[in-house]
């Protein structure tokens, strides 16, 4: 069971309670919430916020592919996964991503949560533009997905 | 024929709009299209090496939201997305 969505920060926010409700089930003895937030320092620069850009359709497709692959690689059949990622401006300390997982056992939940975030960072077409205290801003260098597909 | 190149991430700095438009020959490959974008960078941004690096390392996606390879032939007017190196989370 998967919920996958890109949240436009100008329209709505990520709400943790929505994730809690989605993964809540008496079938699951273990729940893990991974929450990514905007940090105040990066590479010795004072960060004031991040603008996220997203290819929404490809992002959702990648979330679905990663979820399906987790079935095969981790062999966790019974699970609930809630993934939301923001696009648009996110201020300091605000949530940029939530991955909530519900599984029968804790070792499954830890493995699944870690697998999802690592694969999303490598494969989901999302970009960050950091804004700094001196009013400058910069797109962060990322990982090319060219070699994986060409 | 006209191709609209939708810009994402670092490539948004290539234009004040969120896309570029190119006139290309039918059956141009993505590899050739990439070279055309590099020519655009040379002409409009004085050979900006950072921008050229973005183009060289970018993937592309079709209007059907499928990643397309260097060998893919563009056979009709459409919007193609440029996917620079990624890094969300």
Q: Is B34 within a domain?
A: yes
| Gap between the Cα atoms of B83 and B60, Å rounded | 5
Q: Is B89 within a domain?
A: no
Joined together, the tokens standing for residue B64 give: 């059907």
How many other CB atoms sit within 10 Å of the CB of residue A93? Answer: 10
Q: Is B88 within a domain?
A: no
pLDDT score at A71: 85
pLDDT score at A149: 46
The arithmetic mean of pLDDT across residues B45-69, rounded, is 94
A-B contacts at Cβ under 8 angstroms? 88
pLDDT score at B47: 83
* A24 neighbors A100 (Cβ within 8 angstroms): no
Strand A126-132 and strand A137-139: pairing? antiparallel
Beta carbons of A142 and B12 less than 8 Å apart: no
ipTM of the complex as predicted:
0.93
Of A103, A13, A118, A96, which is closest to residue A51 (Cα–Cα)? A96
| Gap between the Cα atoms of A44 and A50, Å rounded | 16
The arithmetic mean of pLDDT across residues A52-59, rounded, is 97
pLDDT score at B88: 74
Q: Is B71 within a domain?
A: yes
Q: What confidence tier does B60 reach under pLDDT thresholds 50, 70, 90?
A: very high
pLDDT score at B56: 96
Which neighbouring-strand residues pair with A34?
A: A99
Q: Report yes or no: A1 at the B interface, CB cutoff 8 Å.
A: no
pLDDT score at A63: 97
- Picking from B12, B65, B83, the nearest residue to A145 by CB comes out as B83
Q: Report yes or no: B16 at the A interface, CB cutoff 8 Å.
A: no
Using an 8 Å CB-CB cutoff, list chain B residues near A145. Answer: 59, 67, 83, 85-86
In percent, how much of chain A has pLDDT > 90? 92
In percent, how much of chain A has pLDDT > 70? 97
Of B87, B84, B19, which is closest to residue B58 (Cα–Cα)? B84
| Gap between the Cα atoms of A118 and A102, Å rounded | 18
Q: Residues A33, A39, A40, CA angle at the centre, nearest 5°?
A: 155
The arithmetic mean of pLDDT across residues B32-53, rounded, is 95
What CATH number is attached to the domain comprising B20? Answer: 3.10.20.30
Joined together, the tokens standing for residue A40 give: 């105040």
Using an 8 Å CB-CB cutoff, list chain B residues near A55. Answer: 8, 61, 65, 81, 83
Q: Is B44 within a domain?
A: yes
**Number of domain units in chain B:** 1
How many other CB atoms sit within 10 Å of the CB of residue A26? Answer: 5
Length of chain B: 89
Domain extents in chain A: 2-36+55-126
In the predicted model, is pLDDT for residue A150 greater than 50?
Answer: no
Joined together, the tokens standing for residue A12 give: 């709505």
pLDDT in tens, A5-55: 999 999 999 999 999 999 999 999 999 999 999 999 998 999 999 999 999
Q: Is B17 within a domain?
A: yes
Which neighbouring-strand residues pair with A5?
A: A84
Tell me the residue range of the domain where B72 lies: 2-83
CATH top class, domain A2-36+55-126: alpha beta
Taking CA–CA distances from B86, the nearest residue in chain A reads: A142
Which neighbouring-strand residues pair with A20?
A: none
């Amino acid at each position: 069971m998967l919920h996958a969505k890109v949240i436009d920060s100008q329209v709505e926010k990520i709400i943790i309670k929505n994730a809690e409700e989605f993964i809540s089930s008496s079938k699951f003895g273990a729940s893990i919430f991974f929450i990514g937030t905007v940090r105040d320092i990066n590479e010795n620069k004072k960060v004031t916020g991040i603008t996220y850009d997203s290819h929404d359709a490809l992002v959702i497709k990648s979330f679905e592919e990663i979820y399906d692959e987790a079935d095969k690689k981790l062999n966790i059949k019974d699970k609930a996964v809630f993934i939301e990622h923001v696009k648009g401006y996110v201020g300091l300390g605000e949530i940029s991503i939530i991955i909530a997982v519900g599984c029968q056992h804790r070792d499954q939940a830890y493995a699944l949560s870690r697998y999802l975030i690592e694969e999303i960072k490598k494969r989901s077409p999302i970009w960050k533009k950091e804004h700094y205290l001196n009013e400058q801003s910069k797109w962060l260098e990322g990982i090319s997905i060219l070699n994986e597909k060409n | 024929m006209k191709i609209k190149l939708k810009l994402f991430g670092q490539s948004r700095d290539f234009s004040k709009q969120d896309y570029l438009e190119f006139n290309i020959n039918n059956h141009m490959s993505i590899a050739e299209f990439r070279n055309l974008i590099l020519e655009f960078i040379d002409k409009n941004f004085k050979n900006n090496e950072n921008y050229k690096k973005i183009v060289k390392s970018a993937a592309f996606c079709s209007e059907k939201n499928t990643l397309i390879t260097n060998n893919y032939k563009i056979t009709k007017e459409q919007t193609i997305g440029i996917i620079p190196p990624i890094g969300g989370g």
